[in-house]
Structure 1
Amino acid sequence: MSDSRVFSIDHFTSTLHTQPCSQLLPTNNRLPSPFAVVVIGASRGVGAGIAAAYAKAGASLLILAARNTDELASVARSLVADSTTASPKVLTHYCDVASPTSVKSFAAYVNARLANHDLPKLDACIFNSGYSGQVHLRLTDGDPEDGQWGTAFGVNALGTYHAAHYFVPLLRAELMQSTPELRNPGSFVAVGSIASCITTGIIANSKYCISKMAQARIVEHLAEQFGSGQDLEQGNQGPPGMLAVAVHPGAVDTQMARDSCPEDFYKYLTDSPDLCGAFCVWLTRDPERVMWLNGRLLSATWDPDELLAKRDDVIKGDLLKFVAVTSKQ
């Protein structure tokens, strides 16, 4: 896409935020009770911020996963010790999203913990794991044998698929059995990137941009398959639709960002690591009210009120999705 199109999605609302505004503060978006959420990739940075947001919003059960279990345990301790929370139940577990066996094992652990806490289903799964690798601006740069392309797709794309494959059934478990008035849709949120829209510039790292575009497309497929409430196999009206979206966290000064972008870009890393978590809570506390955003690439920096005001435009134009342009406007 051209730079003008990247600017267009980056500035989809005229007001942008670097910190959670009052409408997004987790304390102003209390979650229903009970509410169980999984955050995959929660050991630091944006993922730790997402975990904190759900704790502050009153999640009943918060299950965190990552490869670095020591850092994960530190995050869990900080959530329990935070005086602004109501001592949420926080559990941690190892998970390597690139390994289907590891994700399957983690999903089984979550399913067992839900049963132990008498919770009928998972309410939200937030997939935050990501990998960028060294910035290579040309496909001829780098060395294909270094494995970075494989890791980028293994984490960003396949990891999202693995999480969706094993956790969507947990998000929909209650829906398949309960009466219509008790059915509450679950939410699958992939922390994506507006980098999925770019092909040029100093941060147009091909392996990252392309694998993140694939991730966004997986989210679109989830929305089509599980977001309409239609039973694809039977052709009948099924359980209420699940919310599936990709959320750009903003330009956050994380270790991954510093490890993978040029120093000239550091000055743009000004968004809070708490912003994405607040936006995710705002989306998932009542998914039915934002179901019209299903399958779309969103940004946590957007103003929530302005986004809601664009509802008719988004629906009419089927905006915020990847398409092949076949004619000029």
Structure 2
Amino acid sequence: MVPAFVKSGVKGIALLATNAEKLADTERTVHATDPAIETLTCALDISDARSVENAFAAIKDKFGHSDILAHAAGAASGDGPKLHETDPEKWWHNFEVNGKGTYLLIRAFLRQLPTPDTPAAIVNVSSWQPFFVAPQMSGYFISKFILDNLSTYVAAEYPNVVATSLFPGLVPTDMLREPFGTLFEHTSAELVGSTAVWLCHEKAKFLSGRWISTNWDMEDLVSRKEEIIKGDLLKLTLKGSFGADIVARL
């Protein structure tokens, strides 16, 4: 996503990740593309509140505030093959990163906005858990639901912030395991980055609080804006016939 935002003409980029060496490599790539872009690197553990707060304090000192949070950190650990065979600590690690980590990043990002009306955008890299159940990946898929719902809650509580969940497709990264690495078509990282930039554009505001896929036709998606808004589509919800007065009783 970093090259895509560099090409979009941003003034500066704060790079946050666990590996300081990789951060330095990415920073050099940014400057090789555009020497004028201001950069900041922060090695951190996103599941640790103090670490996240220190990173955003550094962002405030360097840039004043950040306008966009593009969040792609994730964990997939502690698989079964069945639930009773999982390692509790490794299984729960998914929630520390995908759940708590996402919450801490979003919380810190929102707190550093200078006013309640400052426009901002959050792009959370989600997964394909809304589609089906993967019995051997319960910790990962369940914890990713937290990320999607956080986007929905941010959209509901902060009208100035466009928050979306983005399914990237199967991108060949270190997290892509078998059989997904060989049996399925892959998505390019460049497409994911370009889609993330597009989600920060004015025309994508109606998607705030919703889940979308990188592989969709975005022109078609925009053409169905009224349908999506009217039907309150692309959200995690419960559908069914529960009686005419169920809402009133609740």
| Common fold by TM > 0.5 | yes
Q: What is aligned with 2:24?
A: 73
Contact 2:123 2:199 in 1 (8 A): no
Counterpart for residue 73 of structure 2:
129
**Could you tell me which residue of structure 2 aligns to residue 321 of structure 1?**
235
CA distance in 1, matches of 2:230, 2:241: 18
- Deviation, 1:169, is 2.4
1:194 partner amino acid:
W
Q: What pairs up with 1:27-42 in 2 under 5 angstroms?
A: none
Q: 1:127 offset after TM fit, Å?
A: 1.2
Distance 1:86 1:244, change over 3 A: same
Contact 1:197 1:213 in 2 (8 A): no
The question of 1:158 aligning with 2:109 is answered no
Identity percentage over the alignment?
27
Deviation at 1:79, TM superposition (A): 1.7
Q: 1:100 to 1:196 in 2, by over 3 A?
A: farther
Would you say the 8 A contact 2:79–2:87 is kept in 1?
no
Whether the 8 Å CA contact 1:168–1:188 is kept in 2: the answer is no
Distance 2:28 2:181 in 1: 33
Mapping 1:91-130, distance limit 5 Å: 91-115=40-64, 121-130=65-74
Structure 2 unmatched runs, 5+ = 243-250
1:137-191: per-residue Cα shift (whole Å, max 9, x none)?
A: 53223222xx122210010011110011111122x31x44xxxxxx651001111
Matched residues in 1 for 2:185 and 2:41: separation?
A: 29
- Do the aligned residues in 1 keep the contact of 2:165 with 2:209 (CA within 8 Å)? yes
Q: TM-score, normalised by structure 2?
A: 0.90
Give the whole-Å Cα distance in 2 for the aligned partners of 1:142 and 1:262: 18
Shift of 1:86: 5.8
Task: Identify the structure with bigger relative contact order (alpha carbons < 8 Å, sequence gap 6+).
Answer: 1
Please tell me whether the aligned partners of residues 65 and 72 of structure 1 are also in contact (alpha carbons under 8 angstroms): yes
Aligned to 1:311: 225
1:249-292 CA deviation, whole Å, 9 max, x = no partner?
111111111xxx323653315111111111111111x34x3221
Does residue 1:140 correspond to 2:84, yes or no? yes
Q: Report what 2:187 is aligned to.
A: 271
Q: TM-score when scaled to structure 1?
A: 0.69
- In structure 2, relative to structure 1, the CA distance for the partners of 1:138 and 1:269 (3 Å cut) is farther
The one-letter amino acid of 2:37's match is: P
Structure 1 runs not aligned, ≥5 long? 1-49, 116-120, 177-182, 228-240
CA distance in 1 between counterparts of 2:180 and 2:163 reads 34
Match of 1:250 in 2: 169
| Structure 1 residue 298 displacement after superposition | 1.1
Question: In structure 2, what is the equivalent of residue 62 of structure 1?
Answer: 13
Tell me, yes or no, if structure 1 residue 212 matches structure 2 residue 139.
Answer: no
CA distance in structure 2 between the partners assigned to 1:277 and 1:86 by the alignment: 20
